[in-house]
């Protein structure tokens, strides 16, 4: 049995609500978390969590951001005129750097020893890992979520960095100990909700023609895998209803409780089996 675990929050855009629900279950079961590795939306949640925010606080921030922009990845988005090299990689006029610089300052977020953020070198497709205390957090968050075709890459150390999911969607290789891996599935069919044209386009792309290849395989023997399913929701579902967002949170909590309680019962994790009932975690 491991006394503390690592956490991996995978990529998946708006489906990050599943991560927040799982985090609620982790808190209630008293599971001790060491390091947190995050990709894209997972990097956002990992940053908030390792900066001392509870699952309730993170959920509130996400719902507020969703009401403003339709997607927590877009806390805001800055239109910019890119250089040609950046444009050819990102195929976009949207940059996350300025919005994240403002958000990091406003929320008082800092890099820390518990946090790892994954980005990817656009040319070599190798991992670029931000960890420790000595890096610019807004650049790491911007790079980790810079999905080509949506956002511009981030220039760092003469590299153009893109979404870490282009290297791996649920990166477990950096974990030194057993990890709880929160994996957000892909959309596999068209949406059950009426979509605006932009959301419908991204839904079609995720189902039939993904923007970038995103490896997903993890070591299920070594780690505790929590796979979340919502195969009608794509990561860039801009006009997803608030009701559906809360549903993902609740499902993340309930499914997470089941998987984690089983892991505790099997002596794979140290924690309490006395967490609250599944119906008690509904979002307000």
Count how many Cα atoms sit within 13 Å of the Cα of residue 257 in the half-sphere of its side chain. Answer: 18
Structural contact between residues 199 and 207, judged by C-beta atoms closer than 8 angstroms: no
Q: Are strands 179-184 and 5-9 parallel, antiparallel or unpaired?
A: parallel
- Residue 224, classed as helix, strand or coil, is strand
CA atoms within 13 A on the CB side of 2: 19
* 117, β-bridge pairs: 38, 130
The total number of residues shown for the chain amounts to: 284
Which letter, b or e, does each residue of 212-242 get, where b requires 16 or more Cβ atoms within 10 Å of its Cβ? eebeeebeeeebbbbbbebebbbbbbbebee
pLDDT of the residue at 276 = 61
Pairwise CA distance, residues 89 & 18, whole Å: 30
Yes or no: say if 171 and 130 are a contact pair by the CB < 8 Å rule. no
Per-residue pLDDT, 78: 73
Q: What is the pLDDT at residue 73?
A: 47
Query: Cα–Cα distance between 129 and 115 in angstroms, integer?
Result: 10
pLDDT in tens for each of the 284 residues of the chain?
567 899 999 999 999 999 999 999 999 999 999 999 999 999 999 999 999 999 999 999 999 988 876 544 444 457 787 888 898 898 888 899 999 999 999 999 999 999 999 999 999 999 999 999 999 999 999 999 999 998 999 999 999 999 999 999 999 999 999 999 999 999 999 998 888 888 888 899 999 988 788 999 999 889 999 999 999 999 988 788 999 999 999 999 999 999 999 999 999 998 887 766 444 455 55
CA distances from 66 to 40, 62, 133, 167 (A): 16, 6, 29, 27
């Amino acid at each position: 049995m491991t006394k503390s675990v690592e956490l991996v929050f995978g990529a998946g855009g708006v489906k990050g609500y599943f991560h927040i629900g799982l985090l609620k279950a982790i808190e209630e079961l008293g599971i001790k978390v060491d390091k947190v590795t995050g990709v894209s939306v997972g990097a956002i949640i990992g940053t908030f969590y390792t900066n001392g925010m509870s699952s309730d606080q993170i959920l509130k921030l996400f719902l507020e951001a969703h009401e403003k922009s339709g997607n927590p990845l877009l806390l805001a988005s800055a239109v910019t005129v890119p250089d040609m090299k950046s444009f050819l990689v990102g195929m976009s006029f949207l940059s996350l750097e300025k919005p994240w610089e403002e958000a990091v300052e406003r929320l008082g977020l800092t890099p820390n020893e518990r946090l790892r953020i994954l980005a990817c070198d656009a040319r070599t497709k190798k991992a670029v890992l931000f960890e420790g205390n000595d890096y610019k957090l807004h650049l790491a968050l911007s790079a980790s979520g810079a999905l080509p075709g949506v956002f511009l890459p981030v220039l760092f150390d003469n590299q153009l960095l893109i979404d870490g999911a282009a290297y791996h969607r649920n990166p477990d290789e950096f974990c030194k100990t057993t990890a709880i891996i929160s994996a957000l599935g892909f959309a596999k069919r068209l949406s059950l909700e009426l979509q605006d044209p932009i959301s419908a386009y991204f839904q079609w792309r995720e189902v039939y023609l993904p923007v970038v290849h995103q490896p997903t395989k993890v070591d299920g023997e070594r780690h505790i895998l929590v796979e979340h399913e919502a195969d009608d929701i794509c990561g860039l579902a801009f006009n997803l209803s608030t009701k559906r967002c809360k549903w993902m949170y609740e499902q993340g909590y309930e499914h997470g409780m089941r998987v984690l309680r089983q892991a505790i019962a099997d002596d794979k994790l140290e924690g309490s089996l006395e967490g609250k009932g599944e119906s008690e975690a509904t979002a307000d």
